[in-house]
Amino acid sequence: MIQAHNLTLFFRDGQQKLPVLQGIDLHIRRGEWLALTGANGCGKSSFIRTLNGLLTPSGGSLTAAGLDMRAPENRRAVKERIQLVFQNPESQSIGSTPSEDIAFGLENRGVPRKEMRERIGVLLEQVGLAHKAGDDIATLSGGERQRLAVASCLALDAGMIIFDEVTSMLDPAGRRDIFSLARKLWNQGTTVLWVTQRMEELCESPRIAVMEAGKLIYDGEPRTLFYESSLPGSLGWDLPPAIGIGHLLKAQGWADELLPLTENDLEGIL
């Protein structure tokens, strides 16, 4: 789905070139879930914007959804195959109701009116908003607006959805709601790139990539990251309680494969 090799990106400040991405090598397979993390300013947002053509790489190679992103026409075409859900749900709505919002993308693709109505109903049902189809978008909660943004992505038959810190502005219930929806889509075959700084979301991800200062400094399993790597400590992460207890268990001789990553894991061993 994504193949980046020695990917670089520079921004210009007068005569000076400022490095944003420095030699990124990353392969995301079709149907995979990858969590991407790193401190603010590390280059996460710039990286994901190269993946769907919003930014043009300065060097290296990048193939996204089978398209060579060095070609301008591919940077336009990839936006239908790789969709981006932004951090602020209020910045993503176009229509005045959920039905109108989804219809916008379908109309641009020339979908017949009858088929459009049927697809809108299916999509709203899929994201749990069928009962809100004709409501004013302004009355939707933050979590509901994020689910609507996901429905708009699905309307374009996106094979991959990038969630750009979508839970950062939501309450705990809304965070769990949108995370569960993303997991459901992943289980149905959608490729997911989940960008987050929340430790509990990282712990539930099968694969984690960590960025710092425009570089990829870790790519692997969460158990290795949290129990065998010094990165969480050197980066100043506040570890979840389950991981903290896991380190105590490890000091007592527990095998790494038995150590908890989530609260559910912890409940299973205590």
Backbone angles phi and psi of 65, in degrees to 5: 55, 40
Alpha-carbon distances of 199 from 45, 69, 71, 238, 261, rounded to whole Å: 18, 32, 37, 8, 10
The domain defined by 2-239 folds into Rossmann fold (3.40.50)
What local confidence, expressed as pLDDT, does residue 270 receive?
Answer: 63
Range name among 59-73, 103-117, 185-199 with the lowest pLDDT average? 103-117
Structure tokens at 179: 């995370």
Q: Which of 3-12, 73-82, 104-113 has the highest mean pLDDT?
A: 3-12
User: Which pLDDT score is estimated for 24?
Assistant: 95
Residues 140-161 have pLDDT tens digits of: 888 888 889 888 888 877 889 9
3-state class (DSSP) for residue 1: coil
- Distance CA(229)–CA(233), nearest Å, equals 9
**What Å distances lie between residue 27 and 7, 75, 127, 219, 257, CA to CA?**
12, 18, 28, 10, 25
CB atoms under 10 Å from CB of 246, counted, come to 24
Residue with the larger pLDDT of the pair 101 and 269:
101
Q: How far apart are the C-alpha atoms of 238 and 232, rounded to whole Å?
A: 8
Report the chain's mean pLDDT, rounded to a whole number: 89
Q: Is the pTM of this model over 0.85?
A: yes
pLDDT one-digit tens code per residue, 3-48: 999 999 998 877 788 899 999 999 999 999 999 999 999 999 999 9
How far is the C-alpha of 7 from the C-alpha of 24, rounded, in Å?
5
